[in-house]
Structure 1
Amino acid sequence: MLLLRCQLEQSTQEVPCTLWAVMGKLQSKLKYSTYKYSRPDGIREERIQTKAFQDYSPAHVDPVSVVAALNSDICVSGGKDKTVVAYNWKTGSVVKRLKGHEREITKIACIPKSSQFFSASRDRTVMMWDLHGSLQPMQQLSGHAMVVTGLAVSPDSSQLCTGSRDNTLLLWDVETGQCVERASVSRNLVTHLCWVPREPYILQASEDKTIRLWDSRGLQVAHMFPTKQHIQTHCEVSVDGHKCISCSNGFEGEGCEATLWDLRQTRNRICEYKGHFQTVASCVFLPTSLALIPVIATSAHDSKVKIWNQNTGACLFTLSLDGSGPLTSLAVGDNTSLLCASFHRGVHLLRVDPSQGLELREVATF
């Protein structure tokens, strides 16, 4: 036995260093996942599938807090490693790695049809970057007293709204980098911001369990939706600007839901989506080209991504990203792709297959 052990140790030492270098590059792996499928008729099925996916070198060395799509090829992500990474998810390569923040990246907002984007951080600053520019930020915006937790770019790209745990919203002129409006509401700890398409309104989620609609003309509260039972963690507006969704924190199935609201006339709650067992961190409207019915997607701390029938609240598909830990952010990549940030396995590239009943598959991680 002693002789055998010595031979094994000797053979291990003779492995070339190049082998270890290859192991950090692109690998093809088999992913074993259990898919829970809830049909509109209430029948729940279990699907166990084996799928090959691409495992690229990680873009981040620590948990990823946020991911956003800059265009149909490039996404931008940030996390606890204080780094902003622009990544081509179709080629599996880092386009740019940007460092400037002193603490964790909390939010990213992209300027539509542009190579420019903003990043917010726990260091209380917001930075503006250009994918085709230098490694230094174009602007640094400072005005909040606590961590910046909300970013929203106006439809015409001329203004940026930022929100913070200091209960304050700031409105910035993108061209000059000057703060032009400031508003503060007691106990309004901002969790997320998004701008309503083609409108001067900003939607905001808060830890005080409310969703507010702000008028950017003077930065005044235009409407408050009925208070929910749990902290609202995220909000999103549909492309047509008619509806919005928000999601909440929770534990063991209590809370852990998404809510659809009407932005046009009554602004009442339309539908709720219940099925996650831990905090729902992100929610998005999926492209209308995916299905004959409108659908939305949610990601949660229970490591699951769900696709829902927007009208009925039925869960159409559940993908469990085992080993990923809490899922922190969800973004639409293109007509059939979703990008999902996680604590333990970086960013996941997911593909929706309309021909298979909106089946959701993991195709890559980076």
Structure 2
Amino acid sequence: MNFRFQNLLGAPYRGGNAIVINDKTLVSPVGNRVAVTDLIKSETLTIPCETSANINRIAASPNGLFLFAVDENSRCIFINVLQKVILHRISFDKPVSVVKFCPDGSLIAIGVGKFVEIWKSPGSKKRFFAFERVRKIDCKSKITALDWSPDSKYLIVGSKEDLTARLICVEKLGKLGRPYLFLGHRASLVGVFFGVDKKLNKVNKVYSITRDCMIFSWGFTGYEGNGEFLEPLSPGTPEQRENQSEAMDVENDSIVNVKERKNLDFQDGNMDEECGFLVRGKWELLRKDNFMQQQARLTACDYHRGLELVVVGFSNGVFGLYQMPDFICLHLLSISREKITTAVFNDLGNWLTFGCAKLGQLLVWEWRSESYILKQQGHYFDVNCLAYSPDSQLLATGADDNKIKVWTVSSGFCFVTFSEHTNAVTALHFMANNNCLLSASLDGTLRAWDLFRYRNFRTFTTPSPRQFVSLTADPAGEVICAGTLDSFEIFVWSMKTGKLLDTLSGHEGPVHGLMFSPTNAILASSSWDKSVRLWDVFEGKGAVETFSHTHDVLTVVYRPDGKQLACSTLEGNIHFWDPIDGQLMYAIEGRRDIAGGRLMTDRRSVANSSSGKCFTTLCYTADGSYILAGGNSKYICLYDIADQVLLRRFQITHNLSLDGVLDFLNSKRMTEAGPLDLIDDENSDVEEGIDKQTRKKLGYDLPGAMPNRGRPVIRTKCLKFAPTGRSWAAATTEGVLIYSIDDSFMFDPTDLDVDVTPEAVNRALSEDQPRRGLVLSLRLNEDSLIKKCIFSVTPTDIPAVAPSIPVRYLQRLIEAFADLLESCPHLEFILRWCQELCKTHGLYIQQNSRSLLPALKSLQKAITRLHQDLSDTCSSNEYLLQYLCSASTKKME
């Protein structure tokens, strides 16, 4: 039962800024979690740390060890990336718009409302309060962008309302160290950056980029030769130069007259940089350029200081790459039709990362070779269904966006997307050969997909259009059955010919559950007509058995051995039937277990509400001893079937940006007009680029539409257990959550005795008794000792040791072999072990296939993966060897 969150699939990116650390690791927010993608190994992993709402800002320390994440509620977490744990937490009273570490990693600049707060970067040691604020600067306007100078002594800050960029010295310098203002912008600033003179390695330029697609280049001119201060004219406003007699630096409502600066003492005409050299100097506008994107807004930008490159993204899905300071366009391409929400360089400047929140799209593009390093896109509507491949290496997902995606479970990457369906995908099923995927949709078609050639090779239809909501195939793969939403019928097709063979009638409601028995050709179906029916499809006898219930039946599943049937009803119960004798075996009442979470529009408390207190999806574990159940709730329940007890409840999220997570509504946020969260008092149409016509098309302005302001409601639509039994997946509002067995050390001995100790195992190995040491380690059930004893057996002794292994330890030994194949290079050694075990204990394995099936599936998965890798390597080496042989022959001739 030791399952823990491992990964999140189906939603690679949902908004916020993405960053690249250590030049090869991409970090991006996914809802209220953070995903870390290794761009070299092509693997992605979601850190098992959650914030209270969706994350909108992240920043990483220069060494890549620490991560600072801020959510929509201005609550921040400080994460150790290597250990994947939260070290510290802090909250702010105003919205946080931008966060950035200084280049040396000692300070963090945070834009909180109209203030810039500079904090000391906390370390990994636990302290009562790890954060220490160094300075708080009032910028008089909401902050939208900031950047550090290379020496970590200055900040350039861009604001929204006053359209101003401020140059700030981090060290307090009194009245003479007020921020320097860059004026003349006509829209809010999206990005501000320092430019560096490569010869002198000093800051000599500032770039400011505005939302109206303009970039301003400012140059630092310094002072006159004798140190006399030149009165700075307001940059960007040449028409005011004649009348301007003083420059105002604003901080804490103070005005500094330029005449006060003339009394400073200069030495040799130069000013010490420690005294705010850049703030007190003269800046002038060098040039301003237009990106020439008509009817588009600039939404994201970044600047690479070493290569002097600027990348910008626009609201129409176009991005541009420009060489500065000459403003030469290197690339101008379109990646989508939606707004680009993040654009960032890696450390070397050869890779560009783009994100589109609406499409869930994340791209990494190498601009020199014009090739993709990473191209991932999640489902931008809810995931409805899941299907594991028989070897557990692949996971298919279908969603309301009419798309089917197939993911590699180990890497977390989607490698193929099928988009031929024209309506929501409602059911998926993998065929036994692992190379064919079936899908059902509301568009009235069933489709078969070839996972070798990535194409739709067969389409199944009905004489009149129907909406399919359930799908299954018999174990032999000869027939396909699908249940409908509108006609309440079950259609049967031939897989080989694609012809419609039969139509099963009898249900009086939508057929939402459909599954063949794993051991015979009996089909089980569940319907909202309060019944479960068994059908003999091949004999054509129709319904051979009917199990009646008092409430609507929502789903039905078979146990892996086919000797038990489970179904959930609208009253919140799970019924377990014996399909052979037709008797009710057990019944579990789960209304109280799944209850939890109150919607913003609910008039009743969670205890008094009846909505959502039922299971809409069920899934047996691989050995059939337990069952997972989920529904319109934030909980997934795990039950022991024999004892009918709840073993564990998994809360799928703590994200308050979703509806139905809180058990109690906050009375402080209640008003006469209703909950404060439901009152839309912000006019965000112009800022976010959503006009009123678009809102009307989406139905946002219709009476009664979007009662909770568009907040998704948390629910679980589908649950699937991996055939290996070591992981399971849940299709939720957050995405596809993967839970796997925790591999951390947990003392769970199989057959403990006084003499069974680690010292006894080591003593047996030192006395050259590997068989005794292996049996003792299996009884102790400590993973490291088991693997040590396996490798202590020489290849020649394997035939002698394998028969002496007690059969009750076979499952644990097979699990150890499957784990070793994932990491160790001794393939032949492990395969020889497996061969000898099958020879000596083959009869026991065959008789106890149900209990050993998860371990055998894990072993099969590992061997299949290695076989695929080796076959690819051998096929590539074959042509290389042919070339080398032909080349050597020509040289000899």
Shorter-chain TM range is 0.7 to 0.9
2:616 to 263, 281, 292: 281
Q: Measure the CA separation in 2 of the matches of 1:306 and 1:285.
A: 12
Name the CA shift for 1:63/1:83 in 2 (closer, same or farther; >3 Å). Answer: same
1:8 to 158, 166, 169: 158
Amino acid at match of 2:484: S
Query: How far off is 1:131 after superposition?
Result: 1.3
Residue 100 of structure 1 pairs with residue 416 of structure 2: no
Determine helix, strand or coil for the equivalent of 1:87. strand
Amino acid at match of 2:728: L
Determine helix, strand or coil for the equivalent of 2:518. coil
Query: How far off is 1:232 after superposition?
Result: 1.6
Amino acid at match of 2:528: E
The corresponding residue for 1:331 is 720
Name the CA shift for 1:186/1:296 in 2 (closer, same or farther; >3 Å). Answer: closer
Name the CA shift for 1:336/1:186 in 2 (closer, same or farther; >3 Å). Answer: closer
Determine helix, strand or coil for the equivalent of 2:594. coil
Residue 120 of structure 1 pairs with residue 440 of structure 2: yes
Query: How far off is 1:171 after superposition?
Result: 1.1
2:631 to 300, 320, 325: 300
The corresponding residue for 1:340 is 730
For the 8 Å contact 1:211–1:232, the answer to whether it is kept is yes
Residue 60 of structure 1 pairs with residue 391 of structure 2: no
The corresponding residue for 1:214 is 535
The corresponding residue for 2:740 is 351
The corresponding residue for 2:581 is 265
The structure with higher relative contact order (CA 8 Å, sep 6+) is 1
Percent identity of paired positions between Structure 1 and Structure 2: 16
Q: TM-score, normalised by structure 2?
A: 0.34
1:177 to 473, 476, 498: 498
Query: How far off is 1:257 after superposition?
Result: 2.7
Residue 88 of structure 1 pairs with residue 408 of structure 2: yes
Query: How far off is 1:266 after superposition?
Result: 3.7
Query: How far off is 1:270 after superposition?
Result: 2.0
Name the CA shift for 1:350/1:186 in 2 (closer, same or farther; >3 Å). Answer: closer
The corresponding residue for 1:193 is 514
Amino acid at match of 1:282: T
Aligned length: 316
Name the CA shift for 1:118/1:2 in 2 (closer, same or farther; >3 Å). Answer: same
Q: Measure the CA separation in 1 of the matches of 2:362 and 2:507.
A: 50
Query: How far off is 1:337 after superposition?
Result: 0.5
Q: Measure the CA separation in 1 of the matches of 2:416 and 2:615.
A: 30
Residue 161 of structure 1 pairs with residue 484 of structure 2: no
Amino acid at match of 1:337: S
Amino acid at match of 1:298: A
Amino acid at match of 1:270: Y
Query: How far off is 1:115 after superposition?
Result: 1.1
Q: TM-score, normalised by structure 1?
A: 0.79
Name the CA shift for 1:58/1:281 in 2 (closer, same or farther; >3 Å). Answer: farther
Q: Measure the CA separation in 1 of the matches of 2:522 and 2:650.
A: 34
Query: How far off is 1:13 after superposition?
Result: 0.8
Q: Measure the CA separation in 2 of the matches of 1:338 and 1:356.
A: 23
What are the ranges of 5 or more consecutive residues in structure 1 without an aligned counterpart?
Answer: 27-55, 250-254, 358-366
Name the CA shift for 1:186/1:152 in 2 (closer, same or farther; >3 Å). Answer: closer
Query: How far off is 1:205 after superposition?
Result: 0.9
Name the CA shift for 1:169/1:5 in 2 (closer, same or farther; >3 Å). Answer: closer
Name the CA shift for 1:210/1:5 in 2 (closer, same or farther; >3 Å). Answer: closer
* Larger strand fraction of residues: 1
Deviations 1:317-351 (A, max 9, x none): 001112471100001123210110012x1111012
Name the CA shift for 1:131/1:228 in 2 (closer, same or farther; >3 Å). Answer: farther
Amino acid at match of 1:114: N
* Larger helix fraction of residues: 2
Amino acid at match of 2:443: D
What are the ranges of 5 or more consecutive residues in structure 2 without an aligned counterpart?
Answer: 1-137, 144-156, 160-164, 166-188, 193-300, 303-342, 346-351, 356-360, 364-374, 596-611, 659-713, 749-893
Query: How far off is 1:259 after superposition?
Result: 1.8
Query: How far off is 1:78 after superposition?
Result: 0.4
Name the CA shift for 1:25/1:246 in 2 (closer, same or farther; >3 Å). Answer: same
